[in-house]
């Protein structure tokens, strides 16, 4: 036992609330998780849902563990992309933002996203704090006036070096649109000054950037040399004014990255939330915005003399039917489709498919076949197990979970080991952000329990009065296995896992995950009646 763990134990014993440094199995720890703030220039789609559902699942897990959890999402409303889209739609960027932000908020409510705050970068609380941040960067001597000449990817709001521009054939790697040549006076942030420190930090902290392959990409790019960063635009009006020079607005990424601390009140009179939750435990982002988070953001934080995030996790990108999603190609997975699936299969099924589809961090491809397969797994493995357990306990034991016999067989021990091992395996998977595992581990337990039904044949045991004790053990273990699988799925399938536990008769509300796992359904508990957790859906 390390001394930290010993201290945590002591803190728990004294019923104290440990600080951020508590080991991850310590209840009462603080946990802060964020999504990127999305551009409200177009409606939300599966990509935004993916990151937000992932963050929501992680946040729910920590809340259930009893951690004091803060989950932030929001919208990134300034910059050229917003101005251009608004102009195309013959409207103003602020009006466009209001309209699309309302759509994002509606979608998050429909998907039952449990964020604690939604920050909009056009809110005064953000704008004032960003100006304070830039004033502090200026006070540290990290900002100077110069002139920028070079390439810009307007869709990504990203400066592109000459070499990168050539490699990319002067086109955006994301949108494919031509890069634009900029030549204008600008304020620079001394990014170059911080590069050696950033590099050393990434090298010394292997957990900081995940997955590993992405960390290596960042390190190789850093080694190629990094110039100072242009952080203001004098040709744009839609942004936060540069402190001390109203002719410039701030580069949208300086404005956007700051959201992670402005939402906590950093730089304002009330920074209690900032003091409580910073440094953030997990920034969840898509792989295309890792560079901003892995290099620009740490440099800003170093200049502000603030601790760096504990982890950046850059997940993969969704394509659809093997191609980049696009409305014109007809393979776009937008809210229409997600809502239709939510109506027929339930949003938990969408959540399960998205997070179970591939290891978190790799690219993913949406196929209807893949979705149906994931849904079938829920029906045939989880739903089926629960149904079997409830039917058998009701039919053979009057709805009361029997006391197991003292004699055990190897197959019982195997199932018992799987049941009691689930909590620790899940914790390790959540700690490492292996969200596919978080979805699969409880379902694998349910699969093993279904195998146990086939091997022990309780329906045959029920016919033989001499086997009554054996049947008691089998039913008891099956009830425990389905209960544990459902408890393990509470963060991943919040509605369905809760409904399943209600059928099992478990009293769940207000209890922590540790308590639920440690004090499961006991012999003598009364179960409810079964009705299909995942009703089959007729597909055309």
E strands, 131-206, in order: 143-153, 158-160, 180-189
Q: Which residues of 316-352 are buried (b: 16+ CB within 10 A; e: fewer)?
A: bbbbbeeeebeeeeebbbebebbeebbeebbbbbbbb
Nearer to ligand MSP, 168 or 511 (CB): 168
Mark 56-95 with x for binding to ligand MSP (rule: CB under 6 A) and - for no binding. Answer: --------------------x-------------------
CB-nearer residue toward ligand MSP: 48 or 136: 48
Peptide bond into 211 cis (omega under 30): yes
**Shorter beta-carbon distance to ligand MSP: residue 97 or 477:** 97
31 binds ligand MSP (CB under 6 A): no
CA distance 129 to 327: 38
CB-wise, 72 or 386, nearer to ligand MSP?
A: 72
3-state SS assignment for residue 351 = helix
Give the N- to C-terminal CA distance of the chain in Å, as an integer: 57
CA distances from 165 to 84, 100, 159, 160, 174 (A): 22, 32, 10, 6, 13
Residue 460 makes CB contacts below 8 A (sequence gap 6+) with none
Q: Pick between residue 289 and residue 486 the one whose CB is nearest to ligand MSP.
A: 289
- Under the binding rule (CB under 6 A), the answer on residue 38 touching ligand MSP is yes
- Cα gap 428→434, rounded to integer Å: 8
Q: How far is the CB of 91 from ligand MSP (least distance, A)?
A: 18
Which of these ranges, 95-103, 140-148, 283-291, 444-452, lies near ligand MSP under the rule CB under 6 A?
283-291
Residue the block writes with tokens 């209690």: 272
Nearer to ligand MSP among residue 186 and residue 259 (C-beta): 259
Q: Is 172 among the residues that bind ligand MSP (CB under 6 A)?
A: no
By CB under 6 A, is residue 257 in contact with ligand MSP? yes
Pick the binder of ligand MSP from 33, 64, 289, 423 (CB under 6 A). 289
- Measured from the CB atom, the residue of 322 and 510 that comes closer to ligand MSP is 322
Percent of residues in the chain assigned helix, strand, coil, to nearest 5: 50, 15, 35
Site for ligand MSP in 39-58 (CB under 6 A): 39, 47-48, 50-51
Q: Residue 256, interface with ligand MSP (CB under 6 A)?
A: yes
When asked if residue 370 is in the footprint of ligand MSP (CB under 6 A), the reply is no
Q: Which is nearer to ligand MSP, 365 or 502 (CB)?
A: 365
Q: How far is the CB of 90 from ligand MSP (least distance, A)?
A: 22
Least distance (Å) from ligand MSP to the CB of residue 447? 28
Among 8, 31, 37, 83, binds ligand MSP (CB under 6 A): 37
Contact present, 104 and 40 (Cβ < 8 Å): yes
Q: Binding residues for ligand MSP, how many (CB under 6 A)?
A: 18
Yes or no: say if 133 and 126 are a contact pair by the CB < 8 Å rule. Answer: no
Nearest alpha carbon to residue 312 among 409, 402, 202: 202
Report d(CA 17, CA 15) in Å as an integer: 7
Tell me if 274 contacts ligand MSP by CB under 6 A.
Answer: no
DSSP 62: H
User: Do the Cβ atoms of 442 and 484 come closer than 8 Å?
Assistant: yes
Is 317 one of the binding residues for ligand MSP (CB under 6 A)? yes
Stretch that binds ligand MSP, among 142-150, 239-247, 253-261, 486-494 (CB under 6 A): 253-261
What is the footprint of ligand MSP within residues 112-171 (CB under 6 A)? Answer: none
Q: For residue 398, is it left (φ>0), alpha (ψ between -120 and 50) or beta?
A: left
- Which residue's CB is nearer to ligand MSP, number 32 or number 517? 32
Q: Name which position in 33, 285, 355, 374 contacts ligand MSP (CB under 6 A).
A: 285
Which stretches of the chain bind ligand MSP, using CB under 6 A?
A: 36-39, 47-48, 50-51, 76, 256-257, 259, 285-286, 288-289, 317-318
């Amino acid at each position: 036992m390390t001394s930290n763990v010993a201290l945590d134990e002591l803190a728990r014993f004294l019923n104290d609330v440990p600080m951020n440094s508590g080991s991850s199995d310590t209840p009462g720890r603080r946990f802060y998780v964020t999504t990127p703030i999305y551009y409200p220039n177009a409606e939300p789609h599966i990509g935004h849902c993916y990151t937000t559902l992932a963050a929501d699942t992680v946040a729910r897990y920590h809340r259930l563990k009893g951690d004091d959890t803060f989950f932030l999402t929001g919208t990134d409303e300034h910059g050229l992309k917003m101005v251009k889209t608004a102009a195309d739609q013959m409207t103003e960027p602020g009006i466009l933002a209001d309209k699309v932000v309302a759509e994002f908020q509606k979608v998050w409510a429909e998907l039952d996203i449990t964020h604690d705050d939604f920050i909009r970068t056009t809110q005064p609380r953000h704008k004032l704090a960003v100006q304070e941040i830039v004033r502090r960067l200026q006070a540290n001597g990290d900002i100077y006036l110069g002139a920028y000449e070079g390439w810009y990817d307007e869709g990504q709001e990203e400066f592109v070096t000459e070499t990168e521009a050539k490699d990319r054939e002067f086109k955006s790697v994301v949108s494919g649109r031509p890069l634009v040549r900029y030549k204008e006076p600008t304020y620079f942030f001394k990014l170059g000054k911080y590069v050696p420190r950033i590099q050393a930090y990434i090298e010394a902290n292997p957990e900081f950037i995940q997955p590993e392959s992405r960390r290596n990409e960042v390190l190789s790019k850093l080694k190629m040399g990094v110039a100072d960063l242009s952080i203001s635009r004098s040709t744009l009006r839609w942004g936060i004014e540069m402190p001390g020079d109203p002719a410039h607005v701030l580069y949208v990424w300086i404005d956007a990255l700051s959201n992670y601390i402005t939402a906590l009140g950093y730089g304002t009179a009330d920074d209690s939330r900032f003091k409580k939750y910073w440094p953030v435990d997990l920034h969840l982002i898509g792989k295309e915005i890792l560079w901003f988070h892995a290099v620009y953001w740490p440099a800003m934080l170093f200049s502000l003399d603030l601790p760096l995030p504990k982890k950046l996790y850059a997940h993969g990108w969704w394509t659809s039917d093997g191609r980049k999603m696009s409305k014109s190609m007809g393979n776009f997975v937008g809210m229409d489709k997600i809502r239709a699936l939510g109506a027929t299969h339930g949003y938990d099924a969408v959540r399960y498919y998205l997070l179970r589809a591939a290891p978190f961090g790799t690219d993913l491809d949406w196929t209807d076949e893949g979705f149906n397969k994931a849904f079938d797994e829920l029906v045939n493995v989880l739903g089926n197990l629960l149904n079997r357990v409830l039917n058998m306990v009701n039919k053979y034991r009057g709805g009361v979970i029997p006391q197991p016999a003292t004699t055990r067989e190897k197959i019982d021990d195997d199932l018992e080991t799987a049941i009691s091992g689930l909590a620790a395996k899940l914790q390790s998977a959540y700690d490492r952000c292996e969200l596919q595992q978080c979805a699969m581990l409880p379902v694998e337990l349910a699969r093993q329990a279904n195998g146990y039904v086939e091997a022990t044949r309780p329906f045959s045991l029920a016919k033989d009065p001499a086997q009554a004790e054996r049947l008691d053990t089998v039913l008891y273990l099956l009830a425990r296995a389905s209960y544990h699988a459902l408890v393990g799925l509470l963060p991943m399938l919040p509605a369905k896992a809760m409904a399943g536990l209600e059928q099992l008769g478990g009293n769940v509300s207000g209890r922590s995950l540790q308590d639920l796992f440690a004090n499961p359904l006991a012999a003598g508990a009364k179960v409810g009646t079964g009705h299909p957790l995942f009703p089959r859906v007729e597909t055309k």
